[in-house]
Amino acid sequence: MKSSRRKFLQIAGLSALGWSICPSLLQASGHGGGEGGNGQGVRWAMAIDTRKLDDKLMEECVHACHSIHNVPKINSKQNIKWIWSAPFEKLFPGQMHKFLKEVPEEHTLALCNHCGNPSCVRVCPTKATFKRPDGIVMMDFHRCIGCRYCMAACPYGSRSFNFADPRRFLKEQNPDFPTRTKGVVEKCTFCAERLDEGKRPACVEAAKGAIYFGDLNDPHSEVRQVLKERYSIRRKPGLGTDPSVYYLI
Amino acid sequence: MLEKAIKGSKIYWGWLGLLLAIIGVGFGAYMVQLNQGLSITGMSRDVSWGFYIAQFTFLVGVAASAVMMVIPKYLHHYQAFGRVLILGEFLAVAAVSMCLLFIVVDLGQPQRLFNVLLHPTPNSILFWDMVVLNGYLFLNILIGWVTLQAERKQVPPPSWIKPFIYLSIPWAVSIHTVTAFLYCGLPGRGFWLTAILAPRFLASAFASGPAFLILLCYIVKIFTKWDPGKEAIQSLAKIVTYAIITNLFFLGLEVFTVGYSQIPDHLLHFKYLFFGLHGYSTYVPWMWASVIAGLAAVAILLNPKNRQADNVLAFACVLVFLSCWIDKGLGMISGGFVPNPLEEITEYIPTKLELMVTLGVYAAGFFILTILYKVAVGVKKEVDA
């Protein structure tokens, strides 16, 4: 009796311990996409012409994005934004100086950078945030558990969380794009749904030539052409996230 | 042995009833949160983790501190800890249970919790945190129960438990190290981006955990007439003394590094916490209270005479616990998010509902702790008699 109970406990103990470690070993797999950043296939990128953008144009870009993606307008610190206008000094902290006369007051657009090495993808515990082979960092709203680790990891503040039910704040809905539920994170998707139809992202269309878009791996794309001609900077390059959004100065 | 939990005095049942009432209130608040979403909290787009995650971080430390008795007892055969070790292990069980509850109440979609198991993601530190926390919970329940059972039968613990005990030593270190890794591997969060975060977490754990255990020992002594032993408490007091000194020293290392390098990404968070930034200074009095409480505790504890006086030692332990709780349960998380990566300031203050949920989780932890302690002390008294 005694020895059989001891045996049972031995086996139960070891198997329970094994169970707590094993799931990772059984199905270990990454979700980083890969190819897009390595010079093969398509890698979508954006070049924002900071000189051409004005307040009105930026407002139109934000409206175009937020209206088609059912992004609610919430007037609180628990708000949601996929693309927004922010001053240079906030987007490029440490890269501005006080003798740079006009620039600090000027605003430009901020959005998800669809990083080549996205920290949000690295930290997500369920692969709800993942990188597609074409470099787009996507969200699976149905898999997200709402832990908000990706928000802590994003060094650009590009992610929003649905603290409340977002549908309450939508006056009009675009039936072609899903609305979200409370408790999930959301973000800009580079209009992946439009790219699949051969269209360009909504903000690029609304910007009337002030935003260039294309394949970073194609030397003939408009994005590569303009990056060749103009001086460009990226947000927080020192962090090694390899952003795909370029700012033309 | 569980039968010992269902026989108790009026005070025991009254205390459990009070805890159940608080759990009920917390559960009610949580129902509101389930219905309204995390919008009922003070969290925001900029401060996306708040009080729940801060309490989780703090309590991981309380749980990890059991190792400070396991090492002397099992690696150095220091027998005085034999009397209190079970209290440390059961405290770890209660603390880890609270940690897990805090993670659950923090989720936006708690019903999808098992996605972490269904889609295991080894590159996420959160995945490993789940592994080590659950593993540690299991280890402490197993070791605590088996050794207590052996003690009741007045036989030495079975030899098969030894590997689990030895495993529990690095495992205790791992729970707090992995929890620190949750924070210190993030780009663009200068406050946490420091290799000393894990050692800091461990130092504050080994101060606050044993300090709390000393207080629990006094409470047990008063209410159950069972004495955990002067020598064990004195040894714990020495551990607290060394650990709180180390904790403050590590804080000093951080302050020097960010202060002397003057790199804004790292410095601004300290400025915000200790001096306020652009007129925002909610945490300033708290952070200074933490530092002063820590220093005062060191001043008291360094003198052996103070440590030997029960009242003074208990007071110093309250100071240590308070100092570490403010540092980890309040400043560590908020300070990491403020200012945000765009150098904007959005302050975080927990809401009433958020505090009620928090209180409910703490009550659940104390409920578990009370029952486990009732069993442990019951067995100890039976053996002593």
Cis peptide leading into residue B72 (ω within 30°): no
**Mean pLDDT value of segment B5-23:** 93
Measured from the Cβ of residue A103, the count of other Cβ atoms closer than 10 Å reads 17
Q: Are A16 and B137 in contact (CB under 8 A)?
A: no
C-alpha–C-alpha distance, residues B2 and A237, integer Å? 59
Higher local confidence (pLDDT), A22 or B257: B257
Reading phi first (left if > 0) and then psi (alpha if -120 to 50, else beta), residue B258 is in: alpha
Of B36, B39, B127, nearest to A125 by CB-CB distance is: B127
Tell me, what's the ipTM? 0.92
DSSP secondary structure code for residue B345 in this structure:
-
Say what the alpha-carbon torsion angle B206, B212, B218, B221 is, to the nearest 10 degrees: -90
Task: For A31-73, write each residue's pLDDT tens digit.
Answer: 554 444 445 689 999 999 999 999 999 999 999 999 999 999 9
**Mean pLDDT value of segment B203-224:** 94
Higher local confidence (pLDDT), A17 or A48: A48
Q: Which two tokens stand for residue A59?
A: 């407002």
**b/e code A39-75 from CB counts within 10 Å (16+ = b):** eeebbbbbbbbbeebeeebbeebbebbbbebbbbebe
User: Is B48's CB within 8 Å of A161's CB?
Assistant: yes
Residues of A within 8 A of B131 (CB-CB) are 20-21, 24
User: Is A157's CB within 8 Å of B117's CB?
Assistant: no
Task: For B62-104, write each residue's pLDDT tens digit.
Answer: 999 989 999 999 999 998 898 899 999 999 999 999 999 999 9
List the one residue out of B21, B139, B117, B263 whose CA is nearest residue A13: B139
**Mean pLDDT value of segment B165-170:** 94
Give the pLDDT of residue A31: 59
Determine the length of chain A.
Answer: 249
Say what the alpha-carbon torsion angle B8, B14, B20, B26 is, to the nearest 10 degrees: -150
Is A94 in CB contact (< 8 Å) with chain B?
A: yes
User: Is A20's CB within 8 Å of B131's CB?
Assistant: yes
Give the pLDDT of residue A17: 62
Phi and psi at residue B111, in whole multiples of 5°? -70, -10
Q: Select the residue from A79, A123, A144, A242 to test the B interface by mutation, using most B Cβ atoms within 10 A.
A: A123
Give the pLDDT of residue B1: 81
Smallest CA–CA distance, residue A219 to chain B, in Å, is 31
Task: For A105-137, write each residue's pLDDT tens digit.
Answer: 689 999 999 999 999 999 999 999 999 999 999
Give the pLDDT of residue A21: 53
Alpha carbon of residue B36 to chain centroid: 29
Positions of E strands within B90-173:
none
Amino acid at B112: R
- Count A/B contacts: CB-CB distance under 8 Å: 178
Q: Is pLDDT of B139 > 90?
A: yes
Q: Is pLDDT of B325 > 70?
A: yes
Give the pLDDT of residue A15: 67
C-alpha–C-alpha distance, residues B88 and B76, integer Å? 17
Scanning A69-221, the segments in alpha helix (DSSP H) are 88-91, 119-123, 149-153, 192-195, 202-206
Give the pLDDT of residue A37: 44
User: Is B123's CB within 8 Å of A122's CB?
Assistant: yes
What is the percentage of chain A residues whose pLDDT exceeds 70?
85
Of A9, A76, A145, nearest to B113 by CB-CB distance is: A145
Give the pLDDT of residue B49: 96
Phi and psi at residue B277, in whole multiples of 5°? -135, 130
Smallest CA–CA distance, residue A25 to chain B, in Å, is 9
**Which residues 210-239 in chain A show a CB within 8 A of chain B?**
236, 239
pTM here is 0.91
User: Is B164's CB within 8 Å of A13's CB?
Assistant: yes
